[in-house]
Amino acid sequence: MTKFGVHIGEIKCGSAEVSIDVDPAKHFNHRDICHGGVMLALADSVLGVTGASVGAVVATLNFSMNFIRGVHEPTTLTVRSHIKHAGHSTMVIEAEMTDSEKHLIGTILTTMFVVDRFKEIPAKW
């Protein structure tokens, strides 16, 4: 994910971590705050990785993000996710976004559709 600048961090079975270094010149809007679309795109990035961590190819069905705190200066935003429900055709994933100072920036709840399986990745490891 080099074009958007997302860094994939730790991946465990059923959870994942991604981050991005926020650059005001690239990621801030006209009000000098990190654009919500940047934060949504970062949050969405973790979902596919989280699904893949249990061998699922997923597509977003529903996505909800609560913006808790604005980002007004350069920082690293990190999203940590975990699977709450892994069914045959759907998956529910929760995540939290924090900044470099560990302030809560947002919470994410999403429902994913399981499109296919990665045969080489086990559902449990």
User: pLDDT, tens digit, for every residue of 24-58?
Assistant: 999 999 999 999 999 999 999 999 999 999 999 99
Question: CA nearest 38: which of 17, 19, 63?
Answer: 19
- Are residues 9 and 17 in contact, defined by beta-carbon separation less than 8 angstroms? yes
**pLDDT of res. 3:** 67
pLDDT in tens, 56-96: 999 999 999 999 999 999 999 999 999 999 999 999 999 99
Report the helix count and the strand count for the chain, using DSSP H and E: 2, 6
**pLDDT of res. 32:** 92
Which phi and psi (to 5°) does residue 43 adopt? -60, -45
47's tokens: 């979902």
- Are residues 77 and 71 in contact, defined by beta-carbon separation less than 8 angstroms? yes
CB burial of residue 57 (10 Å; 0-12, 13-18, 19+): middle
Look at residue 1 and tell me whether its pLDDT is greater than 60.
no
pTM of the complete model: 0.91
